[in-house]
Amino acid sequence: MRSKIIKNTFLMAFLVTVLPTNLYAFHTITEILNNNKLIICKDYDQVKTDQKVEVYTRKFSNNRRGTELEKTEEFILPKAGQQITLHHNELHSTSKFFPTTHTEILGTATVVNTKIAGEARVVKQVSKNKRETVERKTEIITEQDEAKILKNCFVAVLDKEIKLKDVTSISF
């Protein structure tokens, strides 16, 4: 029992030190539309202005205001016509102490500036009664939804057909 706890603690410490801190920020697919357009959105701790993204973290200060936001990183998003790479990353525990990872490039996608208003997307709808199941409903994207999506996200189209369930991260 004690060896399992030590092994799991060591594994978690290894993952925290190896994995990047902005793992989900503009690096995973947020939503897939019915026509295989990919929507990739910002994370909660980011501010997007045009193509520039600034990443902030909370900093505890000594003054009475409590916490402050501190800018830690900034990067540029790909423009329309540029390609992004779709990856499959997986962690394997083949040895007793050191896990191994394998990364595979599944394909590419091209960033586009297209109108997505009027396209269908699948939305999960929760009923008022919590005991009922979650239903999936097809919804049409309105122009207000399109404005929100384009403010916080960018849209990409697959270059060739791949299994989107296997994609775990993207890079640009």
- Give per-residue pLDDT as tens, 3-27: 566 655 654 555 444 444 444 456 7
- If phi > 0 it is left, if psi is from -120 to 50 it is alpha, else beta; for residue 82 that is beta
Q: Could you tell me which residues come within 8 angstroms of residue 94 by beta carbon, excluding any fewer than 6 positions away?
A: 100
Q: Can you tell me the distance from the alpha carbon of 118 to that of 161, in angstroms, rounded to the nearest whole number?
A: 23
Whether residue 28 is predicted with pLDDT greater than 50 in this model: the reply is yes
What band does 102 get if pLDDT is binned at 50, 70 and 90?
confident
Q: Between the CA of residue 139 and those of 51, 120, 128, what are the distances in Å? A: 28, 6, 19
What band does 98 get if pLDDT is binned at 50, 70 and 90?
confident
Q: Answer yes or no: are the C-beta atoms of 52 and 71 closer than 8 Å.
A: no
DSSP character at residue 30: -
Quote the pTM value. Answer: 0.71
Whether residue 88 is predicted with pLDDT greater than 70 in this model: the reply is yes
β partners of residue 88: 104
| CA 48 to centroid of chain Cα atoms | 15
What is the reported pLDDT for 3?
59
